[in-house]
Structures are given as structure tokens and as C-alpha cells.
């Protein structure tokens, strides 16, 4: 199927940084004319660009953007995603909340529940202090200012001893190669959370699909649910549904005082 080949070709280019036209012919078993057409179509997405003799990833989309910059972006859709996520949580649950600027909105939607929250997300820690009904467990480690999170080998080791009912995970990107993040310091923590959770839920905006960053901490198959927004590409929506992964599409939520 062409759409699947395009997804896999894009993911291959992003994960390898660049590829020659001959290399793509060999890897995907298609003619040079087909590769030229596919590359031209992929280049329109803006995530890859044609260069002499081949194609390369646009590197500006793959790095680690500082937390302060990411958190200042419009968050209505992210709040809506978290509102959907909160409906999965029952009183008594043990919940892991990953670091990220989408997951940071979870506490506001969970504040009325009697639950245990385990997190390395500093924003979640600060918000949870106000709610005595929420038992807060903070992973040990070192503060990483760029991601506003707690990181370190001891963080992952500690998390590997915990029982988790549901883990709400963030990501820099999600593609056919896996669910990825840009920070090597958070990689082991994310892997541990996915491994320990009975149910793993990916919370990402639709523009994260088709994006690949440095470290794949999980495969798409390791998630039982994905909560995103209507901008998810149709081919990725189809792929998730084919894998039997529940996909919830959240609408935009306005913050109190928004008039737009």
C-alpha cells in the first residue's frame, strides 16, 4: 500500500538523517521512478527535503526545545487531551505522569480524584501540593532544567520497583519506528514507566505523528490508547486502528478568561 510505504520511507529518512535514492530503491524494493515520486510527495510535508542524489531530514524539527518555549505555546488542545485522559482514571488508581507540556495539564483534570500520582514532572509536583486527596510520589534524581523534570539512573531504577495502573506518556514524536523523545536523560525513565504500567496511554498533539527524534523509548504496539487531536494524519490514524489501539480525538478546550 502506497500510504504505508510513504510512512515507512519517511520514518527511515528521519531516523537515518539522510538517504540516497539508490538506497531507498534497495530498502523498499521499488523502482527509481517510484522513489522519485515518493520523495517529491514526502518533501511537501516539510519534514524532509530533497538534496543532490538523495533526501535528508529537516533537522530543525528533531532537537530538544527548551521547556519554557514549549510551555508558552497555545495549550487549548493539550488541555482537551488531558480532560479525555482523566476520564480513564478511577479513585484508588496509581498513575504515572510523564514530563512534558501536554501532561502538565493533567493535574487540573485529576484534582478531584483520590489517587496516587508518581511523577518526574516538576510542574505536576508543584500543582499536586495543593490537593491533600492526591498522594504524591516523586522519583529521585537530578533536576534537568531544560525539560523541567527529574532525571537520572536512580529515577528509572526507582520507577522499576513501582506498580502502576495507568501511565500517561508524552513524546517528541511518534512514527513507524516508535515513540520517541529527544532527551537521553529521560529515556530510561520513560522505558521503565511503560514497562511497569498495566495500561499505557500516549498523550500527543497530532503534529507529533511522522516526527522522529533521537531515542525510541517504546513501540506503538506498547500503547493501549492514544489521545490526540483532529490534526493527526489520516494514514497514522488508520495505522493505529489497524493495530487495535484505541484512538480518542479531543476537541480544543479554552482556558478560563479566553475570549477568542
Interval 216-238: pLDDT, tens: 899 999 999 999 999 999 989 99
Strand partners, 248: 227
List, as one string, the DSSP characters of 51-98.
ETTEEEE-GGGTS---HHHHHTS--HHHHHHHHHHHTT--TT-EEEE-
What are 165-177's pLDDT values in tens digits? 999 999 988 988 7
216-to-19, 48, 82, 126, 188 alpha-carbon distances in Å: 20, 19, 23, 28, 10
Q: What are phi and psi of 181, to 5 degrees?
A: -140, 165
Domains and CATH numbers, the chain: 2-61 (1.10.10.10), 67-250 (3.40.50.1360)
pLDDT at site 1: 58
Which pLDDT belongs to residue 15?
Answer: 64
CA separation, residue 83 to residues 40, 71, 88, 108, 174 (Å): 39, 18, 10, 9, 21
Q: Is 118 exposed, middle or buried (0-12, 13-18, 19+ CB in 10 A)?
A: buried
Measured at the alpha carbon of residue 254, what is the angle toward residues 253 and 257, in degrees to the nearest 5? Answer: 160
Are 180 and 212 a contacting pair, CB within 8 Å?
A: yes
Query: Strands across the sheet with 225-229, in order?
Result: 135-138, 116-119, 94-97, 164-169, 197-203, 225-229, 246-250
- What confidence score (pLDDT) does residue 11 get? 74
Q: Confirm if 198 and 166 have CB atoms less than 8 A apart.
A: yes
Are the beta carbons of 212 and 177 closer than 8 angstroms? yes
Q: Would you say how long the chain is, in residues?
A: 260
pLDDT score, position 241: 92
Name the pairing type of β-strands 197-203 and 225-229.
Answer: parallel
| Spatial contact of 212 and 188, defined as CB atoms under 8 Å apart | no
The residues of the chain scoring below 70 in pLDDT are 1-3, 15-16, 45-46, 58-75, 252-260
- Cα radius of gyration (the chain): 19
pTM tops 0.75, yes or no: no
Q: Return the pLDDT at 28.
A: 85
Handedness of CA 217, 121, 207, 167 (dihedral sign): positive
Amino acid at each position: 500500500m502506497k500510504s504505508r510505504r510513504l510512512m515507512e520511507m519517511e520514518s527511515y529518512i528521519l531516523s537515518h538523517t539522510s538517504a540516497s535514492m539508490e538506497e531507498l530503491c534497495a530498502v523498499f524494493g521499488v523502482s527509481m521512478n517510484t522513489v522519485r515520486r515518493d520523495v517529491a510527495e514526502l518533501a511537501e510535508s516539510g519534514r524532509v527535503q530533497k538534496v543532490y542524489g538523495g533526501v535528508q531530514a529537516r533537522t530543525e524539527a528533531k532537537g530538544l526545545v527548551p521547556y519554557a518555549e514549549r510551555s508558552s505555546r497555545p495549550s487549548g488542545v493539550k488541555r482537551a487531551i488531558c480532560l479525555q485522559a482523566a476520564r480513564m482514571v478511577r479513585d484508588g488508581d496509581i498513575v504515572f505522569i510523564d514530563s512534558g507540556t501536554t501532561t502538565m495539564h493533567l493535574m487540573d483534570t485529576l484534582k478531584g480524584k483520590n489517587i496516587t500520582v508518581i511523577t518526574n514532572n516538576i510542574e505536576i509536583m508543584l500543582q499536586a501540593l495543593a490537593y491533600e486527596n492526591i498522594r504524591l510520589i516523586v522519583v529521585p534524581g537530578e533536576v534537568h532544567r531544560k525539560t523541567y523534570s527529574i532525571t537520572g539512573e536512580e529515577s528509572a531504577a526507582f520507577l522499576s520497583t513501582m506498580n502502576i495502573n495507568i501511565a500517561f506518556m508524552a513524546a517528541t514524536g511518534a512514527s513507524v519506528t516508535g515513540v520517541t523523545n529527544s532527551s537521553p536523560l529521560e529515556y530510561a525513565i520513560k522505558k521503565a514507566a511503560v514497562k511497569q504500567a498495566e495500561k499505557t496511554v500516549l498523550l500527543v498533539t497530532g503534529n507529533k505523528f511522522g516526527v522522529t527524534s533521537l531515542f525510541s523509548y517504546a513501540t506503538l504496539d506498547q500503547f493501549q490508547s492514544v489521545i490526540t487531536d483532529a490534526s493527526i494524519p489520516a494514514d497514522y490514524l488508520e495505522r493505529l486502528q489497524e493495530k487495535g489501539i484505541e484512538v480518542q480525538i479531543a476537541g480544543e478546550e479554552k482556558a478560563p478568561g479566553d475570549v477568542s
